[in-house]
Amino acid sequence: MVAPDALAERLLPWFDAHNRTELPWRRPGTTAWGVLVSEVMSQQTQVARVAPVWEAWMERWPTPEDLAEAPTSEVLRAWGRMGYPRRALRLQECARIVADEHGGEVPSDPAELERLPGIGVYTAAAVAVFHYGARHPVVDTNVRRVVARLDGEADAGTATTRADIAAAAALLPEAAGVAAKVSLALMELGALVCTARAPECARCPLTDVCAFSGREVPAGPSRKRQRYKGTNRHARGEVMRLLREADGPVERARVDAVWPDPAMLEDAIGQLITEGLIGTDEAGRFELPSE
């Protein structure tokens, strides 16, 4: 495996030239809260879809205190159709805890960050590194793939392991600021050049130190996108869309009209109620939660 300083010498000039500065959360002056919001929104959602939602969200609720005090119904409406709306609820829970227990300041310690609702190892490290400039490995799918290929493997496994984190940590220079930039650069390299099925080794800054350089990616099993149309998730999404767009509580007949399978719809409604994403008023009509 390439030494950290040698990797940084090759990787950082490339990153300076190709860093996606158009992503709004990479603008100078973005707060730790803005970085945390971007990372939560980017879980299971493409950054191109996240960017306009993030900008509108941060204009409306620029601080944890702002989001903590917002009506939950408005938070879910602002989340829109990004999917997995429980993330919006967890983000508001995070905002309340940060506002109440941390004086409105997002913690810089990954261990403290992981205590917040919905914040796992990756997101905690991302905030600590990308905003605070700390020296921690930030390991997502792209980073795991780059690190595995440097060692001669075609790809990493399907889930991040302790070994993946240790391998990424071993590539970080000792200086925290440089290490933080390397972490982001590794992620960018995996997203733009060292892609899953068509790595562009000829324009990779690490090609001369990569044990996989120039090799073909094995055909392997097809990585089909998870089906959405006709699934329980689809049914849940249609119910949420109806309630987001409604001016007030919605009668059951209107909810029934959004999905053709009564049994699947009933399951979807039950799950949404259990998860706190929808509720009912005194008349039994459906609505988004008010708090």
Domain boundaries, given as residue ranges, for the chain: 31-130, 232-287
User: How far apart are alpha carbons 61 and 65 in whole angstroms?
Assistant: 8
Active site residues: 39
Alpha helical stretches, state H, 170-229: 176-192
pLDDT of residue 225: 66
Its CATH class, for the domain covering 31-130, is mainly alpha
Which residues, including other chains, have CB under 8 Å from residue 39's CB and lie 6 or more apart?
122, 123, 126, 127
Element (H, E) at 149: helix 141-150
User: How far apart are alpha carbons 135 and 70 in whole angstroms?
Assistant: 34
Render each residue's pLDDT in the chain as its tens digit; 291 residues: 799 999 999 999 999 999 999 999 999 999 999 999 999 999 989 999 999 999 999 999 999 999 999 999 999 999 999 999 999 999 999 999 999 999 999 999 999 999 999 999 999 999 999 999 999 999 999 999 999 999 999 988 888 999 999 999 999 999 999 999 999 999 999 999 999 999 999 999 999 999 999 999 987 654 566 789 999 999 999 999 999 999 999 999 999 999 999 999 999 999 999 999 999 999 999 999 987
Element (H, E) at 279: strand 279-280
* 291 class by beta-carbon count within 10 Å (0-12 exposed, 13-18 middle, 19+ buried): exposed
* 5 class by beta-carbon count within 10 Å (0-12 exposed, 13-18 middle, 19+ buried): exposed
pLDDT of residue 157: 83
